[in-house]
Structure 1
Amino acid sequence: MAKDIAERIDVGEYVVGDKIPIEAQLCDIYNVSRTVVREAIAQLRSEGLLESQQGVGVFVAGRGNVTLRIPREAAGELSEIIDILELRIGVEVEAAGLAAQRRTDDDLERIFSSLDATADPEAFNRNPRQLDFNFHKAIAVASRNAYMPRFMDFVGPVIIPRSQLIHASIPKITRDYLVKMTDEHQRIALAIRKADVLGAREAMRFHLVGSLERYRQLNIAD
């Protein structure tokens, strides 16, 4: 879907300023879920092709000016997942520390609301990618660095790449894993609420490095 819209922009079928079809129409056109539509739009926004205007719609912004790109087809490769996680560690550990320093009451409400949404493992398992993304994005916003949320939007379509993986022995999402993830999220959130900069950084690093090591072990065994 993202590739098709990008091609339409490239050939001039959609020009700068055009409003693209609404979410429900895109679901019908491409026969995909709303989650897929939202991920595709997020990817195209990160590439500079689309821009959202709240309450109005999504519009063509240009033909793209982002040189760094994570193609969706590459995001299912184990080596790409490891690269993405290493990149996330470099940014999100600092984002957590900044959030502990700068968060507002509204930021804390967003972070803990995102955390609450993952409290039920069954509900979490129905949409793990989006719920995990919401939590990490809330922390990026709380960092009060304008580029942190943009980075999260950039990696958003592949932040939890399990559903795209082509590696046969990839770790499965189990109830125990979701409970562990929620516990780690809680440690990060509590450190941010306490304004514990070092604790927030350490909790985020522990969380992301744990995921990275799981995938590295698969890469070694492959």
Structure 2
Amino acid sequence: MHSAKTLSDCLHLLDFRAGIEAEAASMAARHHGPEQLDELSGALNRFQAGGNNPSARLNCDFEFHLAIARASQNPYIIDAVSSLRPSMISMPLRRLETHDAASSGDRLLFVNQEQRSIFDAIIANDPMAAAAAMRSHLVNSKMRLAFEAGCRKA
């Protein structure tokens, strides 16, 4: 698996994830069971409880995305998302070193709201809304990453 080392790599990875994970969210909305909803809810709650600890939040973020893959009940999607863990939980050094609590807090609030939208669509058994919410979340992540790196265009 190619690792995401540069900004360009990270942006390509987010494009790839948007395709795979939008379908995973759609399938999760159709195929989830109570256990998967519990796993999704737990990951979402842990993300919210992570405070401004970027490392903890990244791990919780990955858990949330993996829980969606599991809820899709498609072993290929589960394997694809699992294999991306090292790249998905890597973060630009600037994010780890930020001392701007307001900026970091705003970013985390947006991410949490986006994740909540995905979760809500999945529990509503709405595959189209789940896919759209996931795609929106990953496109927004791409734009945030590019902005934080000083790029005008993602």
Range of TM-score over shorter length: 0.7 to 0.9
Any conservation in 2 of the 1:188–1:204 contact (CA below 8 Å)?
A: yes
Q: Give the deviation of 1:124 after TM superposition.
A: 5.2
Instruction: Decide whether aligned partners of structure 1 residues 216 and 171 sit closer, same or farther in structure 2, where only a CA change above 3 A counts.
Output: farther
Aligned residue among 192, 199, 204 for 2:129: 199
For 1:58-107, what per-residue CA distance to the aligned partner results, in whole angstroms no more than 9, with x for missing partners?
xxxxxxxxxxx223xxx231010011101100100000000000001111
- SS of aligned partner of 1:70: coil
Instruction: Decide whether aligned partners of structure 1 residues 101 and 91 sit closer, same or farther in structure 2, where only a CA change above 3 A counts.
Output: same
Tell me whether 1:82 sits opposite 2:11 in the alignment: yes
Q: Which residue of 2 aligns with 1:98?
A: 27
For 1:154-173, what per-residue CA distance to the aligned partner results, in whole angstroms no more than 9, with x for missing partners?
110110321xx36x699957
What is the CA–CA distance in structure 2 between the aligned matches of 1:81 and 1:108, rounded to whole Å? 29
Instruction: Decide whether aligned partners of structure 1 residues 99 and 171 sit closer, same or farther in structure 2, where only a CA change above 3 A counts.
Output: farther
Any conservation in 1 of the 2:44–2:116 contact (CA below 8 Å)?
A: yes
Any conservation in 1 of the 2:52–2:105 contact (CA below 8 Å)?
A: no
Aligned residue among 140, 158, 164 for 2:87: 158
RCO greater where, 1 or 2, for CA within 8 Å and sep 6 or more? 2
Higher radius of gyration, 1 or 2 = 1
- SS of aligned partner of 2:125: coil
Aligned residue among 27, 38, 60 for 1:131: 60
- SS of aligned partner of 2:84: helix
Any conservation in 1 of the 2:50–2:56 contact (CA below 8 Å)?
A: no
Any conservation in 2 of the 1:121–1:178 contact (CA below 8 Å)?
A: no
Summarize the alignment of residues 1-222 of structure 1 with structure 2, pairs less than 5 Å apart: 69-71=1-3, 75-122=4-51, 125-162=54-91, 165=92, 172=98, 174-217=104-147, 218-220=150-152
What is the CA–CA distance in structure 2 between the aligned matches of 1:90 and 1:205, rounded to whole Å? 8
Instruction: Decide whether aligned partners of structure 1 residues 170 and 111 sit closer, same or farther in structure 2, where only a CA change above 3 A counts.
Output: closer
Q: Which amino acid aligns with 1:105?
A: P
Tell me how large the CA RMSD over aligned residues is.
2.3
Structure with greater helix percent: 2
What is the CA–CA distance in structure 2 between the aligned matches of 1:133 and 1:208, rounded to whole Å? 13
* % identity of equivalent residues: 29
Q: Which amino acid aligns with 2:106?
A: D
- SS of aligned partner of 1:161: coil
Q: Which amino acid aligns with 1:70?
A: H
Instruction: Decide whether aligned partners of structure 1 residues 182 and 145 sit closer, same or farther in structure 2, where only a CA change above 3 A counts.
Output: same
What is the CA–CA distance in structure 2 between the aligned matches of 1:161 and 1:211, rounded to whole Å? 13
